[in-house]
Amino acid sequence: MAIEVFNRNEKKYIMDEKTYKQLLIRLEDYMELDAYNIGQDFYSISNIYYDTMDDKLIRNSIEKPIYREKLRVRSYGIPLIEDQVYIEIKKKYKDNVNKRRTAMKLADAYDYLNNDIYPDFNQNKINMQVFNEIDYFKKFYKVVPKVHISYDRRAYFEQDDGDFRLTFDTNIKARRDNIRLEAGDGGDKLLEDGKYLMEVKISNAAPIWFTRLMAEFNIYPTSFSKYASEYKRYINNMITKGEHICLNQYLQHLQTIQFQLVQQF
């Protein structure tokens, strides 16, 4: 059965293609590919992020409080409506990340999240403890679908140790129209061509060999959130559409767009 609860620390790094390729060669001595990558350089991940009508969750996250949380639906590859996806609730306290998720059919996920129609718990192998947390989150924040974010991933696990994990994401794209997983991975790029986002995921300290590699390649941690980057770009685009936009006009325009997005579902 797929892992449904994750507790770990996460750090992020951005690098160019030359550094990425050199690093992959060195990683062969210490790490092995994720099962999803067997036979292919990358596998695709697609997500729908849910937020409040006024974007409270992402606005709070951008302010970098000690505690933040988010809700999303994730698929591996572009799913059909009857394929399995994951509803995930992700909580972060300082650098500690707790992710809990449960699987269900995409059609059931849409019905539940967008229309308040609960899935058949007897036909779906749903983790009820996780589902109850998601259900509380959904009702408390009254979330709606906000943005589709997809990317291609290459993932590694340390040899003889499943705890230390590295992922490389590229071709990161986002869109705010047609926010459905089965609609494909189209969208605007959030990271320029030739750039890679590396994420380190570990429960304890990183191994010494990895620390030495980071020093050798002059790779340093950075702050990068896919959803936050998309939201900042979205707001900047909204503001620059007109020469002068007063706050009330902007808020009214934003509310209208959000209402139209909700009506799609």
Q: How far is CA 240 from CA 203, 233, 243, 244, in A?
A: 42, 11, 7, 8
Q: What is the per-residue burial (b if ≥16 Cβ within 10 Å, else e) of 179-194?
A: bbbbeebebeebbeee
Which CATH number do you get for residue 31? Answer: 3.20.100.30
What do you get for the CA distance between the two ends of the chain, in Å? 31
Mean pLDDT of 123-134: 87
Which residues have CB under 8 Å from 3's CB, separation 6+?
none
Percent of the chain exceeding pLDDT 90 equals: 70
Question: Has residue 195 got a pLDDT over 50?
Answer: yes
Which burial class, exposed, middle or buried, applies to 84 when counting CB atoms under 10 A from its CB (0-12, 13-18, 19+)?
Answer: middle
Model pTM?
0.87
Domain holding 74, by residue range, is 5-263
- Cα–Cα distance, 25 to 41 (Å, whole number): 14
The confidence score (pLDDT) of residue 85 equals 96
Residue 205 carries which DSSP code?
P
b or e along 45-61 (b: 16 or more beta carbons within 10 Å of the residue's beta carbon)? bbbbbbbbbebebbebb
Query: What's the number of domains the chain is made of?
Result: 1
Signed CA dihedral, 45, 50, 56, 60: sign only = negative
The single residue listed with the structure tokens 């001595």 is 29
Supply the pLDDT for residue 36.
87
**Helix/strand/coil percentages in the chain, nearest 5:** 35, 35, 30
Question: For residue range 213-255, what is the model confidence (pLDDT) as tens digits?
Answer: 999 999 999 989 999 999 999 988 887 765 344 444 445 445 5
226-239 and 247-263 helices cross at what angle (nearest 10)? 120
Q: For residue 258, is pLDDT > 60?
A: no
- The tally of CA atoms less than 13 A away on the side-chain side of residue 235 is 12
Tokens of 232: 């900042």
> In the beta sheet, which residues pair with residue 104?
85
Burial label for 94, CB within 10 Å (0-12, 13-18, 19+), is exposed
Question: How confident is residue 1, by pLDDT bands cut at 50, 70 and 90?
Answer: very low
Lowest mean pLDDT among 15-19, 104-108, 126-130, 168-172: 126-130
pLDDT at residue 161, rounded to an integer: 67
